[in-house]
Amino acid sequence: MMMPTEPESLLIGGREVAAAEVLEIRDPHDASVVGYAPAASREQARTAVDAAFRAWPAWAAIPVEDRVSCVLSALATSSQDMAQRAELLVRENGKTLSEAKLEMRVFASRFEHAAVAARELDVTERMSGPPYETTIVHVPQGVVTIIIPFNAPLAILAAALPQALMAGNTVVVKPPPSTPLAVLATLRHLVRTLPAGVLNVVSGVDDVLGPVLVGDKRVRHVCFTGSVSAGSRVMALAAQNITNVTLELGGNDAAIVLEDAQLDEAAFARLAAGAFRTSGQVCMAIKRLYVPQSMFDDVVDGMRAVLSETRVGSGLDPVVTMGPLNSRRQRDYVSALCDEAGAAGVEMMQLGELVRADPERGNHMLPRLVLAPAPRLRIVREEQFGPALPIIPFATEADAIAQANDSWAGLCSSVWSENAEHAMAVARQLRAGVTFFNNHNAAAVDDRAPFGGLQQSGIGREMGREGLLSFTETHVMSVPTATARQESA
């Protein structure tokens, strides 16, 4: 078992900078100390913005292809000590080691996808007159702040960081307060390779750093992933300087099983992973599972069979398949949603078993199926963000679609069917930014495509060409054609 690390450093202007205060990071499995993260002061946050602002003109002036090469060279250095950083992520986050290793790989692959899209920035669009010869180019915005959550900090960071850098912006990253260590350790490799000030990392307390990292007028884009309430505060603060925002604010994803779906053991495994990956703490996890009334018992039996094999404990234990929740507060919230449903007479199944885990010390929670809850219950209306899944029967497809769309959220959805044409017809009626087919959650995401939600699930898109262009401004230059000049003479 790794011993607690010495306090990490802030990464500002190409240098490692000590912070006056530290955050104690504890393992959600047993509350042991994992390490210590620097807690930046407001002045240190301002210094990070200073460094990014000074570095921006030179970085923006570098040709796109050279910027891409520079960022990919920096990425290559992050392959060092990857196994140790994956273990560190497990201990501070709670997820399993296999999930942490996958996240490390996703971090790298998203840089490669961004590089493909970034090379298109060299393409200049021209519109020939008369009356104008117009040139359209995309230029960098300036300083970008990226604020990331605890649940998949590196994967989520890589949905924005490479695009922002390759587009010619300089960046200040704020890691999550409860899970900053793997991010700091990973980005240190990039900071050492990139020009000073192009990438800066400041960890600490949200209320201390937010007014600077979001509210400083030199910050021209804030990319935030987190709760709706926190995103609303970010948007309000950014609005004071008319700062661009990209917000990914969680979801209440619906999965609809159609009557022509073929649900074998592999399909039930995908359904279970879609709901319970990272202990259900994923914005794009299945939060509501709608099934035909005629298939309800079969679906419940299939899910029960898969989830009965769940082993909950330390993510470093090789027999464990699901780790603890990241915080006691979140475990208590999910438990309260389930208790409310139980008090209303809803049947509930608690499945799997604990493995060398003490719920009094850690934040463990066995997976639960909540059977046929009423639509008004909070377990259906709210984002549980934990290992509890309502399974809801429906009478008609129209009813299922209406219930799926009856939500404040609109991040992702999925349709389960053996008929692609039928599934697509249903998908087109769903109010969601992304719809998956016969799969759900991170394993189903196409990283070449834009990602984001509708309604209160957010604003803007990450990844893909849209995600790249969101970190640029459009510059239009129009020159009168010869004919137009003659007519005006």
Catalytically active residues, by annotation: 248, 283
Rounded CA gap, 383 and 378, in Å? Answer: 8
Cα dihedral across residues 149, 151, 153, 157: positive or negative? negative
Tell me whether strands 219-225 and 143-147 are parallel, antiparallel or unpaired. parallel
Count of residues making up the chain: 489
Rounded CA gap, 105 and 469, in Å? Answer: 24
> 52-65 burial, b for 16+ CB within 10 Å, e for fewer?
bbebbeebbeeebe
Name the token pair of 135: 């040139």
Single-letter residue type at 294? S
Burial of 385 (0-12, 13-18, 19+ CB in 10 A): buried
3-state secondary structure of 411: coil
Sequence-separated (6 or more) residues with CB below 8 Å from residue 156: 148, 149, 225, 248
CB 377 within 8 A of CB 392: no
Peptide bond just before 130 cis, omega within 30 deg: yes
- Helix 82-93 × helix 181-193 angle, to 10°: 150
CB 168 within 8 A of CB 139: yes
Distances from the Cα of 442 to the Cαs of 103, 258, 331, 446, in angstroms? Answer: 10, 22, 22, 9
